[in-house]
A and B are shown apart, each in its own frame.
Chain A
Amino acid sequence: MSEATLEGEKIHLWRGERHVLRGVTFRVTGGECLQLTGPNGSGKTSLLRTVCGLSYPEAGAIHWRGKDVRRDLPAFHAEMAYLGHEPPLKMELTARENLAYWIGVRRRMTRAEVDQTLERVGGERWSDRPVHTLSAGQKRRVALAGLLLMNVPLWLLDEPTTNLDVDGQRLVGTLLEEHLAGGGLAVTAVHHALLMSERGLRPLELGFA
């Protein structure tokens, strides 16, 4: 398999009358994290959704491992994880059940693996409670557990630290550092600086051209 690289090539995206992304170009390889910054409405979320294939750009291309992702979206999706603004959880199910279905369609997991990951995000005490009884920060931690369990090289994170306390923000930083150290890639949209080392961080500022 060729080296893990993610490239965006002159991506143009229109939202109705608005030209949101104007020729965005970037390149990330293993061990690097692309940090998208810019004011509200500058297209951070749009870029992330375009990269993961939910939005169709008017022009430009996204390459994963040197190949256009549109050629084989399922293969690309199997290697990436996207976390949006809201944790993608069913309120009626427990944290553990949520993970069993959300991640279960991707890969088989052992009970020990799920336990370990829930412990990692600090959820061992509330993992069997229905998600609607959890706080916003706890829901975000469940989403982080899902991210870890997917076990994929590419992370696309939209505001991963929203609703998290300082401990949680540090946790996100540590998880990202470990992910990069293991040769993983990440693209994150951030408002606040992430609590992590600067190594491997590559800023990309989006603005209104």
Chain B
Amino acid sequence: MPEVGAWSAPLPAAAPERAGAPSALGVARLMLERDLRLAFRKASQLIQPLAFFVIVTTLFPLAVTPSLAELRRIAPGVVWAAALLSSLLALEFLFRDDAQDGTLEQFALSGRALTGLLVAKTAAHWLLTGLPLALMAPVAGAALGVPEAAMPGILASVALGTVTLSLIGAVGAALTMGLRRSGALLSLLTLPLVIPVLIFGARATQLAIKGESYSAPLMLLAALAVLATTLAPLAATAAVRINLE
């Protein structure tokens, strides 16, 4: 019997453009449109993480102290920990539904590059969870006594940070997509990897609140996003292929 290694597939090359086939960009657009449409038909899944974020951040003034000066001090930590956890909440559904109803399998067998399809799905996930969080973060910040001048900094850091969260989360979601109750394992896999995002994100927010320049941590967040964009899709593709077997 030949060794198993003889069967290991070579890295899948990007599918050549065929007559009548949509372009790679067209495929990505189709996938994005599909996921957005599906999300709006299941609005509860869409609202849940955002509601969680709002509830957690508004509980702090009630639980800790109504003093704005005090709240302003803890605001970066509160906003970022809440953003991290609520983005984890939505991750579980990223690939699992598609894996269960067999549609992901069909996309893997479509002859199109699976990596591109997964990137499009992850982009849709960011648009549906990361972007709303980024828009909501300044509002939550306002409730914690964050000055108006710090709002652009908070928005930018959460927007950038959630890109990395979605991408790294996609790897975790791909690894656990075959499990029925994957929430705990998914958090365990993903949380350690996203700690740098938490650190630099909270630092950027802290500096923005103090009115100092926050460009250094923001650039580090951007670097993390670039790194995740480069590596995470490949890892997610490999994980999906293993789980489809």
Contacts and interface: CB of A to CB of B under 8 A. Distances in A.
B27 A105 contact: yes
Contacts of B7: 56-58, 70
Interface string A81-106: 01010111111110001001110111
A133 interface: no
B106 A54 contact: no
Interface stretch (B46-54, B75-83, B109-117): B109-117
A72 interface: yes
A53 B105 CA distance: 11
Contact of A89 (B8, B31, B103, B108): B103
Nearest to B18: A78
Given A74-B15, A105-B27, A106-B112, 8 more contacts: A56-B7, A56-B9, A56-B245, A58-B7, A87-B102, A89-B103, A92-B42, A104-B30
Interface size classification for chain B: 35 or more
Contact of B9 (A70, A92, A97): A70
Nearest to B245: A55
**Which of A76, A79, A89, A107 counts the most chain B CB atoms within 10 A?**
A107
Contact of B111 (A12, A75, A97, A108): A75
Contacts of A100: 30
Contacts of A74: 12-16, 111-113
B212 interface: no
16 contacts: A59-B2, A71-B10, A72-B13, A74-B14, A74-B16, A82-B109, A88-B103, A88-B105, A89-B101, A93-B34, A100-B30, A101-B31, A104-B22, A105-B22, A105-B107, A106-B21
Interface of B: 1-2, 4, 7-10, 12-16, 18, 20-22, 27, 30-31, 33-34, 37-38, 41-42, 101-103, 105-113, 117, 244-245
Interface of B (DSSP majority class):
loop
A74 to B, nearest CB: 4
B109 A105 contact: no
Contacts of B33: 101
Nearest to B15: A74
Contact of B37 (A56, A73, A87, A97): A97
A77 interface: yes
B4 to A, nearest CB: 6
A23 to B, nearest CB: 10
Contact of A58 (B1, B18, B34, B37): B1
B12 A73 contact: yes
A52 interface: yes
Interface of A (DSSP majority class):
loop
Nearest to B104: A88
Contacts of B13: 72, 74
A97 B38 CA distance: 10
Contacts of A73: 9, 12
9 A-B pairs closest in CB distance:
A78-B111, A88-B102, A77-B111, A74-B15, A92-B41, A101-B34, A88-B106, A59-B1, A74-B111
B34 to A, nearest CB: 4
B170 to A, nearest CB: 19
A93 B38 CA distance: 7
A1 to B, nearest CB: 13
A172 B211 CA distance: 70
A103 B133 CA distance: 33
B30 A108 contact: no
B156 to A, nearest CB: 33
A61 to B, nearest CB: 9
B103 A90 contact: yes
Contacts of A92: 38, 41-42
A68 to B, nearest CB: 10
A148 to B, nearest CB: 15
Contacts of A55: 245
